[in-house]
Amino acid sequence: MSAVTALQRRRDAAPDRRHLQVVDAPAKRHTLAYALMIVAVLGVTVFGAVAFNALAAAAAVETRALDAHVAEAERAYAQLVADVAALEDPARIREAAEELGMVPAGPVRHLTLERNLPADGAAPPTETATPTPDPLKSLLSAADS
């Protein structure tokens, strides 16, 4: 019994190593490369944010300058409209005409014309020319009545 129990004790005391495998040493981690890459990404991000902020500030300055230019143009337009209104005043036009030596027009006269045109057939035909019928005469006569 002592021989069997001693052998059995050795087996029980020794761990079973059949499930263990031999592996290579873990790969060396490149923490310095990762750290430098993160620093570079953060640097590019900060630089991009500053650059976009500078572009936005430049656009705001240009916008303010254009707004000032538009306001000045609107003031000039309003002044020109007032000048045109003053120049269109009938009293001023009358004074300018009198300074140039113009006189007011006389009474209004109307002229009345008789319709004695050869195309209407009212004028007697001449002997040398033969009258040609006017195709629009019927249309014009219908429009008058």
Distance CA 124, CA 82 (A): 62
Q: Mean pLDDT by 10-residue block, N- to C-terminus, for the chain (145 residues)?
A: 60 64 77 93 97 96 97 97 93 92 86 67 57 70 59
Give CA angle at 94 (88, 98), nearest 5°: 140
> Do residues 131 and 138 lie in contact, with contact meaning Cβ atoms separated by under 8 Å?
no
What lies within 8 Å, CB to CB, of 86 at 6+ separation is 92
The pLDDT of residue 78: 96
> What pTM did the predictor assign?
0.41
> How distant, in Å, are the alpha carbons of 80, 124, 136 from that of 83?
5, 60, 51
Q: State whether the Cα torsion 123-127-128-134 is positive or negative.
A: positive
Closest CA to 5 of 16, 107, 13: 13
pLDDT, tens digit (0-9, with 9 covering 90-100), for 68-108:
999 999 999 999 999 999 999 999 999 999 999 998 888 88
